[in-house]
Structure 1
């Protein structure tokens, strides 16, 4: 998926006012994902995304951190300056677009690494 198409889909789904706002949210969500997965997983995902969005996944980090949905959303909110409920909406706009932009196998690997209760953010069914 090209950069402009990825950006437009996130902007529309997130109901953002500008491309800049959508780009900030994309970068924040991908940055949080990168802190949760291995460097190899982040690089693989980055290889599927258009520049400059891939850069957020390529930033140098230490070991992957383990955290749940609340912490995931708190970190997105911290990066964007939003409230946690808004961060949930923002993350959903980015992650549901991600499922259309990268191969299904890559999404499945990412879902396996993230907390199970994050599946609905990707446009999947909410956990029971």
Structure 2
């Protein structure tokens, strides 16, 4: 999947008004995910993504394995994205849905294996989840 296709999918599925908004939602979600993952996992996933998207998984705090709950994950995405929490929840779910299509199932399984079961809601809801979910 190319960069423009990834961002276009996020924009379309999340009903965002611009590609810029989709880029910000993608960055906020993937940077937060990269902080939560440990070791080389963010870099392994990034290797399967186009450069612009991959960069969001390869920032300074990537692979630190910082432990935080799913609620905290959504709070961090909300802050990074600069949107209200319910919007950040939905956007994050959409970004993860597109990520699942962009990288191999094995890599998704590796990511999920590092996260507690409460994160299943992030991976399973996607754009078909509630438009404005409660975190």
Q: 1:2-41 counterparts in 2 under 5 A?
A: 2-41=2-41
Q: 1:1-128 counterparts in 2 under 5 A?
A: 1-61=1-61, 63-123=64-124
Query: Are 2:96 and 2:122, in contact at CA under 8 Å, matched by a contact in 1?
Result: yes
CA deviation string 1:14-57 (max 9, x = no partner): 11101110001101101001111124001001111112111111
Q: Give unpaired runs (5+ residues) of structure 1.
A: none
Query: Are 2:14 and 2:94, in contact at CA under 8 Å, matched by a contact in 1?
Result: yes
What TM-score do the two structures reach when normalised by structure 1? 0.90
CA deviation string 1:77-110 (max 9, x = no partner): 0101112211110101100011111000111111
RMSD: 1.8
Query: Are 2:38 and 2:114, in contact at CA under 8 Å, matched by a contact in 1?
Result: no
Partner of 2:40, secondary structure, is helix
Q: Give unpaired runs (5+ residues) of structure 2.
A: 130-135
Q: CA deviation at 1:111?
A: 1.3
Q: How many residues get paired?
A: 126
Quick one: structure 1 residues 124 and 15, their matched pair in 2 at CA, closer, same or farther if it must change by over 3 Å? Answer: closer
Give distance in 1, aligned partners of 2:89 and 2:66: 19
